Amino acid sequence: MGARARQQGGSAIQATSTGGHPSLHTVKPLGRTLFNRVFAAIYALSILALLFYHAKTLFYSPALVSFSVTLALLISDLVLAFFWVSTQTFRMFPVCRKQFPENLKKIMERSDFPALDVFICTADPYKEPPISVVNTALSVMAYDYPTEKISVYVSDDGGSALTLFAFMEAAKFATHWLPFCKKNNILERSPEAYFESNHSFTSEAVNIKIIYESMKVKVERVLERGEVDDENITSGQEREAFNKWADSFTRQDHPAVIQVLLDASKDRDIAGYSMPNLIYVSREKNKASPHHFKAGALNALLRVSSNMTNAPIILTLDCDFCSNDPQTLLRAMCYLCDPAIRSTLAYVQFPQIYRGINKNDIYCGEFKRLFVINTMGMDGVEGPNYVGTGCFFHRRSFFGSPSSLISPEIPELSPDHVVDKPIQSQSVLALAHQVADCNYENQTDWGSKIGFRYGSLVEDYYTGFRLQCEGWKSILCNPERPAFFGHVPINLADALNQQKRWSIGLLEVAFSKHSPATFGVRSKGILMGLGYAQLAFWAIWSIPITTYAFLPQLALLNQVSIFPKVSESWFFLYAFLFLGAYGQDCLDFVLAGGSVQRWWNDQRFWHIRGVTCYLFGSIEFFLKFLGISASGFTVTSKAVDAEQSKRYEQGIFEFGVHSPMFVTLTMAAIINLISFSQGLGEVFRGNDLEGLFMQMFISGFAVVNCWPIYEAIALRNDNGKMPIKTTIMATLLAGALYMAASFIFKPLGISNGGFAVTNEVVDDEQGKRYDQGNFEF
């Protein structure tokens, strides 16, 4: 496996530096690899020792309660051990890559550059304001690339005339914007980002800003009014398009709407150069047919585009991911066009990077581990997972393994179909509507063997995983200047709901017949299988986190010791395991360019997720698994509330609304505070806490982490504070939990006047002395 990994990394260097060609890209291993491996060996031994300790304790458990407590700790630690083991995939061969886009022109003519189809998905004009979707489209239409080779397809799952209107306006504005960017060599090619930046104030720039602002006002006014009225419709062609929104048209039930807004073969910008294609697609929807959310939308675009332009390269983008670097496409081409690797390369993934994260990143919106550290690690093995946006695909990879092409039902959809008719010709448009039909996929391979794969709410992860299992490779491209900037939830409920959806989607893969733990390990080997499995089982972090958030504290409240004493050598094992894991985690984070404060918030948020979205995600998944409930893809809102956004800027947590997830979180905060303060009280009264030190430490650590929650409950008065209903429910439930725990732990507490501590590991010698009636010191 290791040899295979090194081979893949190595072949990329050879591919480009031999044969007399100037190199397109290089790859080199990261310096920390040796340290990671040595440390892994030591840490693995410590985990084995801990498991031995648990086994021993379990075996000598004197009572059912202590047996159950040890069992809970053992299960938690087994889950932690699983995550630690699977993290090694990301630590064994991390690599870092460089591209040389300037060399592309030396090995191929500009006219031979492959064409690109961009897929932009949007689903709700109110959660995803059309003006920002327009910015995303404009930013990629203006790539440094032969313009006529770019086609942008916008998928509107919201089926909204407002979005179509915005894009009609965008098509007009683009004829000014594209030549402006290219002539002035602008870096920020999303107008919004450009006007926010420190740009020059030439008369040309001022002029273009006026045109942009007037478009923006028009689009926003139409959005406010909720409909496109007559005064905004300027041609018969536009009227014809909007006429499709008849009375029976709803977002869940409507015919396909496909509108060519710019045609590269005809339309010219104001300087006379050709424009990219711009096509609006809202696939047919009908309440009786499953639409498979984003994966379904992308498959509809795959079909519509193969019949219209059939570019060999596809870029998938979420509506909020604006390009931040016009060179990105050329960078991706350094891999996609490299003859040495392209035949097995499915995709080139750029990391998700966000604009507008607050200084210390309180909601861990940066996802450094998920999108950068882990993907860099997988990149050195067989390639990163697909993260849904900012990813350039070979169209061919959606149609079977590298060695055997699966032909779709009709030849026009095949990746090798040659488009020979204009995109606006009658027959092309008719076929486009036909393949955007909601029943088109019935009895076909779409979603199972062809295209984006169905069956999980995280279609990105699942599709990338299945492609890799078919034998495709992938590459992470993480240039210094971020290639795309996305939008991050700036409100706690949104962030947790998003991650609850991910948790459910990942568990759907984990417990499917294509589980990475079984199918994945079989087809990709242990390293890749485990790397994918770590993500799939993401939500079961909730088991150890919830256990450690409540169990030691409840035991502490009842003065029952469940960990080794400070004087025992097992204590040092615990200390090493904790400090080792935390230290290495911090090191990884900082070496990937994060600050220590952000790391601190990252670990805090990991605990928060453990008792909220991971927990509720797992519960929802199992209910769904048992057929009791169903969950859908709730789109994350990208619209910003000014007041919330101000609090976010200041780094203040946003609660505001009641949510069951806030209840469990508040319960954990209360229980930890009470147990820690009670323990502290005992210390001040002069009682010996040696046997309870670890429990004191854990609850103290949690109290420090929970500070923003106490603030939100008691010290704040703004609209983002903890709703009183949440606090009351959490307090009642915490009380009930406390009572239940006292009842359960009662038989274990030894009452001898002082602060009694039970230690379940009965030491033979101690036992003897105890039997002889000697005091033990």
Ligand X SMILES: O=c1ccn([C@@H]2O[C@H](COP(=O)(O)OP(=O)(O)O[C@H]3O[C@H](CO)[C@@H](O)[C@H](O)[C@H]3O)[C@@H](O)[C@H]2O)c(=O)[nH]1
Report residue 325 as tokens.
Answer: 């670097």
Least distance in angstroms from the C-beta of 171 to ligand X: 20
**Rounded to whole angstroms, how far apart are CA atoms 93 and 28?**
10
Q: Does 535 bind ligand X (CB under 6 A)?
A: no
In the list 161, 219, 304, 319, the residue contacting ligand X (rule: CB under 6 A) is 319
E strand or H helix that includes residue 596 = helix 596-611
Rg of the chain on CA atoms, in Å: 29
E strand or H helix that includes residue 70 = helix 64-92
Least distance in angstroms from the C-beta of 47 to ligand X: 31
**Rounded to whole angstroms, how far apart are CA atoms 27 and 15?**
11
**Rounded to whole angstroms, how far apart are CA atoms 539 and 610?**
8
Query: Looking at beta carbons only, is 182 or 487 nearer to ligand X?
Result: 487
Active site residue 338: no
Q: Does 389 bind ligand X (CB under 6 A)?
A: yes
Least distance in angstroms from the C-beta of 264 to Mn ion: 29
Size of the site for ligand X (CB under 6 A): 20
Report residue 180 as tokens.
Answer: 């402006």
Binder of residue 460, out of ligand X, Mn ion, none (CB less than 5 to 8 A by kind): ligand X
Query: Looking at beta carbons only, is 297 or 364 nearer to ligand X?
Result: 297
Query: Looking at beta carbons only, is 70 or 155 nearer to ligand X?
Result: 155
Least distance in angstroms from the C-beta of 647 to Mn ion: 21
Classify strands 345-349 and 484-485 as parallel, antiparallel or unpaired: unpaired
Inter-residue contact 153 to 281 (CB < 8 Å): yes
DSSP 399: B
Q: Does 656 bind ligand X (CB under 6 A)?
A: no
Least distance in angstroms from the C-beta of 530 to ligand X: 21
Query: Looking at beta carbons only, is 438 or 490 nearer to Mn ion?
Result: 490
Inter-residue contact 541 to 79 (CB < 8 Å): yes
**Rounded to whole angstroms, how far apart are CA atoms 68 and 46?**
23
- Site residues for Mn ion, 82-121, by CB under 5 A, read none
In the list 61, 306, 497, 498, the residue contacting ligand X (rule: CB under 6 A) is 498
Inter-residue contact 364 to 606 (CB < 8 Å): yes
Q: Does 354 bind ligand X (CB under 6 A)?
A: no
From residue 634 to residue 673, what is the string marking binding to Mn ion with x (rule CB under 5 A)? Answer: --x-------------------------------------
Least distance in angstroms from the C-beta of 740 to ligand X: 36
From residue 93 to residue 122, what is the string marking binding to ligand X with x (rule CB under 6 A)? Answer: ----------------------------xx
Among the listed residues 545, 566, 569, 576, the one whose alpha carbon sits nearest the alpha carbon of residue 757: 566
Residue 315, SS3? Answer: strand
Binder of residue 333, out of ligand X, Mn ion, none (CB less than 5 to 8 A by kind): none
Least distance in angstroms from the C-beta of 127 to Mn ion: 10
Q: 521-536 burial string, b = 16+ CB within 10 Å, else e?
A: bebbebbbbbbbbbbb
Binder of residue 123, out of ligand X, Mn ion, none (CB less than 5 to 8 A by kind): ligand X
Query: Looking at beta carbons only, is 9 or 388 nearer to Mn ion?
Result: 388
Least distance in angstroms from the C-beta of 295 to Mn ion: 15
Q: Does 636 bind ligand X (CB under 6 A)?
A: yes
**Rounded to whole angstroms, how far apart are CA atoms 644 and 720?**
8
Query: Looking at beta carbons only, is 389 or 699 nearer to ligand X?
Result: 389
Query: Looking at beta carbons only, is 175 or 636 nearer to Mn ion?
Result: 636
Report residue 68 as tokens.
Answer: 């159950």
Query: Looking at beta carbons only, is 84 or 350 nearer to ligand X?
Result: 350
Least distance in angstroms from the C-beta of 469 to ligand X: 18
Which residue among 117, 124, 156, 157 is the active-site one? Answer: 157
3-state helix, strand, coil in the chain (%, to 5): 55, 10, 35
Among the listed residues 559, 560, 520, the one whose alpha carbon sits nearest the alpha carbon of residue 536: 520
Name 480's Cβ contacts closer than 8 Å, sequence gap at least 6.
Answer: none
Name 610's Cβ contacts closer than 8 Å, sequence gap at least 6.
Answer: 541, 542, 544, 545, 546, 549
Q: How far is CA 43 from CA 39, 82, 86, 241, 401, in A?
A: 6, 13, 13, 64, 38
Q: Does 157 bind ligand X (CB under 6 A)?
A: yes
**Rounded to whole angstroms, how far apart are CA atoms 174 and 99?**
29
Residue 761, SS3? Answer: coil
Binder of residue 366, out of Mn ion, ligand X, none (CB less than 5 to 8 A by kind): none
Name the residue number minimizing CB distance to ligand X: 388
Q: 579-615 burial string, b = 16+ CB within 10 Å, else e?
A: eebeebbbebbeebebeeebbbbbbbbbbbbbbbbbb
Size of the site for Mn ion (CB under 5 A): 1
Query: Looking at beta carbons only, is 228 or 315 nearer to Mn ion?
Result: 315
Query: Looking at beta carbons only, is 462 or 745 nearer to ligand X?
Result: 462
Classify strands 322-323 and 484-485 as parallel, antiparallel or unpaired: antiparallel
In the list 458, 536, 560, 652, the residue contacting ligand X (rule: CB under 6 A) is 458
Q: Does 463 bind ligand X (CB under 6 A)?
A: no
Q: CB under 5 A: which stretch of 248-256, 408-416, 432-440, 629-637 binds Mn ion?
A: 629-637
Q: Does 326 bind ligand X (CB under 6 A)?
A: no
Q: CB under 6 A: which stretch of 222-230, 339-347, 457-465, 529-537 binds ligand X?
A: 457-465
Q: Does 460 bind ligand X (CB under 6 A)?
A: yes
Active site residue 157: yes
Which residue among 156, 460, 494, 588 is the active-site one? Answer: 460
* Amino acid present at 517: A
Classify strands 277-282 and 391-394 as parallel, antiparallel or unpaired: unpaired
In the list 5, 134, 297, 692, the residue contacting ligand X (rule: CB under 6 A) is 297
Binder of residue 389, out of Mn ion, ligand X, none (CB less than 5 to 8 A by kind): ligand X
- Site residues for ligand X, 551-570, by CB under 6 A, read none
Q: CB under 6 A: which stretch of 52-60, 293-301, 354-362, 675-683 binds ligand X?
A: 293-301
Residue 360, SS3? Answer: coil
Q: Does 318 bind ligand X (CB under 6 A)?
A: yes
Query: Looking at beta carbons only, is 349 or 699 nearer to ligand X?
Result: 349
Least distance in angstroms from the C-beta of 243 to ligand X: 24
Binder of residue 297, out of Mn ion, ligand X, none (CB less than 5 to 8 A by kind): ligand X
**Rounded to whole angstroms, how far apart are CA atoms 410 and 430?**
14
In the list 329, 635, 652, 722, the residue contacting ligand X (rule: CB under 6 A) is 635
**Rounded to whole angstroms, how far apart are CA atoms 18 and 21?**
7
In the list 92, 104, 107, 123, the residue contacting ligand X (rule: CB under 6 A) is 123
Beta strand spans in 56-161 (E): 95-99, 116-122, 150-156
Inter-residue contact 322 to 141 (CB < 8 Å): no
Q: Does 269 bind ligand X (CB under 6 A)?
A: no
**Rounded to whole angstroms, how far apart are CA atoms 634 and 715?**
32
E strand or H helix that includes residue 473 = strand 473-476
Q: How far is CA 157 from CA 173, 392, 449, 484, 635, in A?
A: 24, 22, 23, 22, 11
Q: Does 388 bind ligand X (CB under 6 A)?
A: yes
Q: CB under 6 A: which stretch of 522-530, 534-542, 631-639, 759-767 binds ligand X?
A: 631-639
Q: Does 284 bind ligand X (CB under 6 A)?
A: no
From residue 578 to residue 617, what is the string marking binding to ligand X with x (rule CB under 6 A)? Answer: ----------------------------------------
Inter-residue contact 510 to 536 (CB < 8 Å): yes
Please give the residue ranges that form the binding site for Mn ion (CB under 5 A): 636
List active site positions: 157, 460
Binding site residues, ligand X, CB under 6 A: 121-123, 128, 155, 157, 293-294, 297, 318-319, 388-389, 458-460, 498, 633, 635-636
